[in-house]
Chains A and B, each alone.
Chain A
Amino acid sequence: MNDTRTRPRTRGVAFAAVPALATALLVALGAAQRSGDAVPPYRVEEVLVSSRRGTCRDRLPICGCPRRAGTTPAVWHNCGFYDEPIPPETAVHSMEHGAVWISYEFDLSASQQAELRRIAEEQSFVLASPLVDLPAPVVATAWGRQLQLEEPSDPRLDRFLVDYRLGPQTLEPGAPCSGGVGEPAARRCKRRSRRPPW
């Protein structure tokens, strides 16, 4: 009879197929969870930030005075959005604490600056300030890592923040990005009429 001859084979196939299908389904689900939105090719440059020991191998925007042993301890710069330049050595100190320093060209459009302001204000340990002679309109730097971008809306900026904000490159995890020097730029809102105090 057909049944008795084909049965063992089909039984074997079914026995193998169910676990195989189940595994394939689980793997596919797992992969789907992880993929997220596609980010364009992402290559972060390794840069030598000014070393504590003294030799300053400068790469903009990490220019300026290195924190040499023998100088007074530099203060760190409070994170946030700045519309005026800040001293590079204080920004470098903030990066030692795990901050990402987003430096931008002065002639970035108002909406692009607003985008950077939003990024710097919505989370801690992000420092944004303008700088001259940048190699690109927007340069994101963390200690020893740098990414050059054409615009703030580039999805690679978010990825850089995920990878490096308080990331493994932080020299002093636990150190603050407040209580140092600097006052982030206030929003230029329309002045509201002041209510009298009584």
Chain B
Amino acid sequence: MTTPRWGGWVRIGLAALLLVLVSVAATAWVLRPVLPADDSVEAGFARDMATHHEQAVTMAELAREGTDDPDVELLAKEIALVQQAQVGQFNGWLQAWGLPATGSAPAMSWMVMGGMSMPGMASRDDLNRLADLEGREADRLFLQLMIDHHQGGVHMAEALLEHEARPEVRRLAEVIVSSQQAEIETMRAMLEEDD
């Protein structure tokens, strides 16, 4: 008895379909997005830069509340809004990568030199003085603290750029370097104008 003709075709069809499915699955697995690990450079940068930015927002808000100078107010507003938005980006990335905001490695351990304290951070005393001072004195202190703070931020972003990292992380680091360097110049000019 001969096998029905269509039986052979069904087998061919099924085999071909299986081949297609297997190759699609294999391709998808090979091309699957690889997410940064908890101890990756990207995660470290996102967490530490967010902490650093959060202090900038704090200082900017303190300065804005106390100042009479419209230029200082404008600068402080811009810094607060930009850096808060970037904190949002860092936290958004961590969420998308399935990572918690708190890492298991110590802060700054991702940086090449490793283990240094966060550069440019103001101390509790500095922040208290900023809150207590008024007028021109407060403005000058704010500008000095923020210049140091930005220099630290630029340093951290440059440190990220020394590593291989996801392109969107590198892109934001590059933006931070250029925009904060420009703001440093603006703030220096504002301090000089005063003298």
Q: Which residues of A contact B (CB under 8 A)?
A: 3, 7, 11, 14-15, 17-19, 22-23, 52, 69-73, 75-76, 168, 170-176, 179
Residue of B nearest to A53 (CB): B185
A-B contact pairs, 29 of them (CB 8 A): A3-B5, A11-B12, A14-B12, A14-B13, A15-B12, A18-B12, A18-B19, A19-B16, A22-B17, A22-B20, A69-B182, A69-B188, A70-B189, A72-B71, A73-B71, A73-B74, A73-B190, A75-B74, A170-B175, A171-B175, A171-B182, A172-B175, A173-B85, A173-B175, A174-B84, A175-B81, A175-B85, A176-B78, A179-B81
B151: Cβ under 8 A from any A Cβ? no
Mask of B171-193 contacts with A, CB within 8 angstroms, 1/0: 11001001100100110111011
Q: A52-B185, A72-B71 are in contact. Are A175 and B175 (CB under 8 A)?
A: no
Interface residue tally on B, bucketed by range: 35 or more
Dominant SS among interface residues on chain A: loop
Q: Which 7 A-B pairs have the closest CB atoms?
A: A174-B85, A18-B16, A69-B185, A174-B82, A70-B189, A175-B82, A14-B12
What distance in Å separates the Cβ of B52 from its nearest Cβ neighbour in chain A? 15
B9: Cβ under 8 A from any A Cβ? yes
Residues of A contacting B82 with CB < 8 Å?
172-175
Dominant SS among interface residues on chain B: helix
Q: How far is the CA of A173 from the CA of B88 in the complex (A)?
A: 11
B161: Cβ under 8 A from any A Cβ? no
Q: Given A73-B186, A173-B172, 15 other A-B contacts at CB below 8 A?
A: A7-B8, A14-B9, A15-B15, A17-B16, A19-B23, A22-B17, A69-B182, A72-B193, A172-B78, A173-B86, A174-B83, A174-B89, A175-B81, A176-B78, A179-B77
Q: Which of B71, B88, B179 contacts A172 (CB 8 A)?
A: B179
What distance in Å separates the Cβ of A68 from its nearest Cβ neighbour in chain B? 9
A18 engages B189 (CB within 8 Å): no
What distance in Å separates the Cβ of B188 from its nearest Cβ neighbour in chain A? 8
Interface centre among A3, A75, A174, A176 (most CB of B within 10 A): A174
A72 engages B190 (CB within 8 Å): yes
Residues of B contacting A75 with CB < 8 Å?
74
